[in-house]
């Protein structure tokens, strides 16, 4: 059995959705198709909830009507048969009535989560109707019946496995299943989600717990590139990556994959293949246990980083200082990405500034605090990178003209991270590319 996940742009127009139906038909055997919302929809739903939360009823109503109009048009172009069109119009009516009738007063996160879920609910129901029109027999598996997270927002693997197995057992002779990415239920049984971009995570969770043969993530780019193709020329897709390398890259900016999505597949050792819907014959990237070569495999960058330095004489020869620092971040549930220390100071980075003010104020009790916003982490990823001589020297040499704020080496064997001011990011990516991959072009 395979899990095939199609992202927002892959189902972004009626033609593309039809194309997805053809792609899944090429794949023999049992498949579970996981869909994102039609591209742009989740963003619009976020806007609608913001209006509702702010009590801007008129603005919410306009945005809902506008989206409704787009979906009516979508359905007209997707389906040709009167029966399926009628059913699709009823589906739209149901979901848009839900949006229109939402409580205008006391709109909370609870309602917001339900609003955000509409995108995946719509895309999967419309796709199911298209398959029905094409006489492709497909079973609808509602994600809200099996995808669950606990009170720390972590997926509950055994419940997901049990729920899925139970549902699948009623359809032993069926080959095509359709389900939603992104959406789930939380520990209270309320509708929730796996955070933005979470459909990849859904696919990996499903593939993992079912011990699938493979998880395919279909997007609009041919695999993970060895550098950011929007910034650097002559990048190319990497044919094979190890789970560890892919996880580092996904986290550090290779936008193709949701950062958590490698973990479940890795846990159950299910290979993940990244493929391009617009270019289905391209080889893409295969992520698995092995890797094919050594050296730097890829370079990635992550923007929007804030560096915080805490300097204190009290740190000198003292124990417990770092614990106090970390506790501040824990208090505000803010993950730390990079960290470097000296005897009298510690520098670390975060990518979520929502509690920056409080964090800085609490840290000030421990020492002198300096904050640098607009930083970028440049990350070099490769198999046992840190054990190979000369690579880091070469990388640092190619950045000789860029001020380096932090260097993190040795945290993982597969990664070296360098923090620089974001204004130097493009320059750094290009010069690293020329120096490290120049002879491969
Ligand atoms: N529709 C959700 C989002 O836009 C989930 C996803 O596409 O992966 O974030
Ligand atoms: Mg995505």
> Is 211 a domain residue?
yes
What's the CA gap between 39 and 182, in Å, rounded? 13
Q: Point out the domain boundary residue: 219, 242, 258.
A: 219
116, 193 Cβ separation under 8 angstroms? yes
Question: 88 in a domain, yes or no?
Answer: yes
322 shares its domain with 183: no
* Alpha carbon of 175 to ligand 1 centroid (Å): 25
Index of the ligand 1 atom closest to the CA of residue 182: 5
Say which ligand is closest to the CA of 221: 2
Residues 41 and 161 in one domain: yes
Residue 172 CB neighbour total at 10 angstroms: 7
Does 287 fall in a domain?
no
205-213: average pLDDT: 98
Angle at 399 (CA atoms; ends 394, 405), nearest 5 degrees:
120
Same domain as 133, residue 14: yes
- Percent share of the chain, pLDDT over 90: 80
Task: Describe the crossing of helices 109-133 and 57-78 by its angle, rounded to 10 degrees.
Answer: 10
My answer on whether 77 and 184 are in the same domain is yes
Predicted pLDDT at 198: 95
C-alpha dihedral, 336 to 243 to 237 to 256, nearest 10°? -50
Query: How far apart are the C-alpha atoms of 346 and 322, rounded to whole Å?
Result: 8
Q: How far apart are CA 240 and CA 412, in angstroms?
A: 19
Judgement on whether residues 207 and 342 belong to the same structural domain of the protein: no
Distant-in-sequence, close-in-space partners of 99: CB < 8 Å, separation ≥ 6 = 48, 64, 115, 118
Task: Please tell me the predicted confidence (pLDDT) of residue 251.
Answer: 79
Domain containing 34 equals: 2-219
Q: Alpha-carbon torsion 159, 164, 166, 167, what sign? A: positive
Domain match, 346 and 213 both: no
Q: Which of 9, 12, 119 to mutate to test the pocket of ligand 1 (most atoms within 8 A of CB)?
A: 119
DSSP string computed for 110-176: HHHHHHHHHHHHHHHHHHHHHHHHTT--EEE--GGGT-BB-TTS-B-HHHHHHHHHHHHHTTTT--E
Could you tell me if 190 and 110 are in contact, meaning their C-beta atoms sit under 8 angstroms apart? yes
Query: Which domain-ending residue is among 202, 219, 236?
Result: 219
Q: Using the 3D structure, point to which of 161, 190, 219 is the last residue of a domain.
A: 219
Query: Mind listing the pLDDT tens digit for each residue in 29-60?
Result: 999 999 999 999 999 999 999 999 999 999 99
CA 304 / ligand 1 centre spacing (Å): 20
Ligand 1 centroid from CA 193, angstroms:
9
Instruction: From 143, 196, 200, 261, give the residue whose CB has the most ligand 1 atoms within 8 Å, as the site to mutate.
Output: 196
Lowest mean pLDDT among 262-271, 294-303, 352-361, 396-405: 294-303
Residue 246 lies in a domain: no
Quick one: average pLDDT of 223-235?
Answer: 92
Task: State which of 5, 11, 37, 201 you would mutate to test the pocket of ligand 1, scoring each by most atoms of that ligand within 8 A of its C-beta.
Answer: 37
Contact 184, 193 (CB under 8 A): yes
Q: How far is the CA of 40 from the centre of ligand 1 (A)?
A: 9
Residues with CB under 6 A from ligand 1: 7-8, 36-37, 42, 119, 181-182, 196-199
Q: What is the distance in A from the centroid of ligand 1 to the CA of 372?
A: 31
Taking 90 as the threshold, does the pLDDT of residue 384 lie above it? no
- Secondary structure E strands in 331-386: 339-341, 345-350, 368-381
Q: Per this entry, what is the length of the chain?
A: 441
The domain spanning residue 53 has which CATH number?
3.40.1160.10
Helix 109-133 / helix 41-53 crossing angle, nearest 10 deg: 150
Coil, strand or helix at 178: strand
Say if 228 falls within a structural domain. no
Q: Which ligand is nearest to the CA of 194?
A: 1
State the pTM of this model: 0.88
Strands 345-350 and 298-311, sheet pairing:
antiparallel
Q: Which residue has the higher pLDDT, 258 or 98?
A: 98
Sign of the Cα torsion 290, 296, 301, 305 reads: positive
Phi first, then psi: what are they for 300, rounded to 5°?
-140, 160
pLDDT bracket for residue 292 (50, 70, 90): low
Report the distance separating Cα 177 and Cα 44, nearest Å: 27
Backbone torsions φ then ψ of 248, nearest 5 degrees: -65, -45
Nearest CA to ligand 1 atom 6: 197
Q: Give how many domains the chain has, as a whole number.
A: 2
CATH of the domain at 429: 3.30.2130.10
Instruction: Report the share of the chain in percent with pLDDT over 70.
Output: 97
| Same-domain check for residues 198 and 310 | no
215 and 304 share a domain? no
Structural domain contains residue 317:
yes
For the CA of 37, the nearest ligand? 1
Q: Which of 138-147, 222-231, 286-295, 378-387 has the lowest mean pLDDT?
A: 286-295
179 within domain boundaries = yes
d(C-alpha 76, C-alpha 94), whole Å? 17
- Provide the pLDDT confidence category of residue 290 given band limits of 50, 70 and 90: confident
Same domain, 149 and 34: yes
Q: Is residue 274 part of a domain?
A: no
Same-domain status, 168 and 33: yes
Cα 109 from chain centre: 21
Please check whether residues 43 and 191 belong to one and the same domain. Answer: yes
User: In which band, very low, low, confident or very high, does the pLDDT at 174 lie, cut at 50, 70 and 90?
Assistant: very high
DSSP SS3 for 188: coil
Task: Determine the distance from the C-alpha atom of residue 28 to the mean position of all C-alpha atoms in its chain, rounded to a whole number.
Answer: 27
The closest ligand to the CA of 203 turns out to be 1
């Amino acid at each position: 059995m395979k899990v095939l996940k199609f992202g927002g742009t892959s189902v972004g127009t009626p033609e593309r959705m039809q194309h997805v139906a053809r792609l899944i038909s090429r794949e023999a055997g049992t498949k579970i198709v996981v869909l994102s919302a039609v591209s742009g929809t989740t963003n619009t739903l976020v806007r609608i909830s913001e209006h509702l939360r702010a009590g801007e009823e008129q603005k919410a109503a306009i945005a809902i009507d506008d989206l409704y109009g787009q979906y009516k048009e979508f359905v007209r172009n997707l389906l040709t048969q009167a029966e399926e069109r009628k059913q699709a119009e009823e589906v739209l009516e149901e979901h848009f009535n839900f949006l229109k009738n939402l409580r205008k007063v006391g709109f909370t996160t609870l309602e917001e989560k339900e609003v955000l879920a509409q995108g995946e609910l719509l895309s999967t129901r419309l796709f199911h109707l298209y398959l029905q029109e094409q006489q492709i027999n497909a079973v609808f598996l509602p994600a809200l019946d099996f995808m669950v997270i606990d009170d720390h927002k972590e997926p509950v693997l055994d419940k997901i496995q049990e729920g899925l197995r139970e549902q699948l057992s009623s359809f032993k002779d069926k080959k095509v299943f359709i389900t939603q990415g992104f959406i789930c239920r939380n520990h209270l049984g309320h509708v929730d989600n796996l955070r933005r971009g979470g459909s990849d995570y859904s696919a990996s969770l499903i593939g993992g717990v079912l011990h699938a043969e493979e998880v395919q993530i279909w997007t609009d780019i041919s695999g993970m590139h060895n550098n950011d193709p929007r910034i650097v020329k002559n990048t190319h897709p990497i044919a094979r990556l190890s789970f560890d390398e892919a996880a580092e890259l996904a986290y550090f900016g290779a936008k193709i994959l949701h950062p958590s999505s490698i973990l479940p597949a890795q846990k159950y050792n299910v290979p993940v293949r990244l493929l391009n819907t617009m270019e289905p014959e391209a080889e893409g990237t295969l992520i698995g246990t092995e890797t094919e070569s050594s050296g730097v495999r890829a370079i990635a960058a992550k923007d929007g980083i804030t560096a915080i330095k805490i300097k204190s004489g009290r740190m000198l020869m003292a124990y417990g200082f770092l614990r106090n620092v970390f506790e501040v971040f824990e208090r505000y549930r803010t993950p730390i990405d990079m960290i470097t220390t000296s005897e009298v100071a510690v520098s670390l980075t975060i990518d979520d500034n929502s509690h920056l003010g409080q964090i800085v104020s609490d840290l000030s009790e421990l020492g002198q605090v300096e904050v640098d916003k607009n930083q970028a982490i440049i990350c070099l990823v490769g198999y046992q990178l840190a054990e190979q001589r000369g690579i880091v020297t070469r990388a640092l040499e190619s950045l000789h003209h860029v001020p380096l704020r932090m260097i993190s080496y040795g945290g993982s064997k597969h990664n070296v991270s360098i923090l620089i001011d974001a204004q130097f990011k493009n320059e750094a990516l290009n010069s690293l590319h020329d120096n490290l991959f120049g002879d491969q072009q």
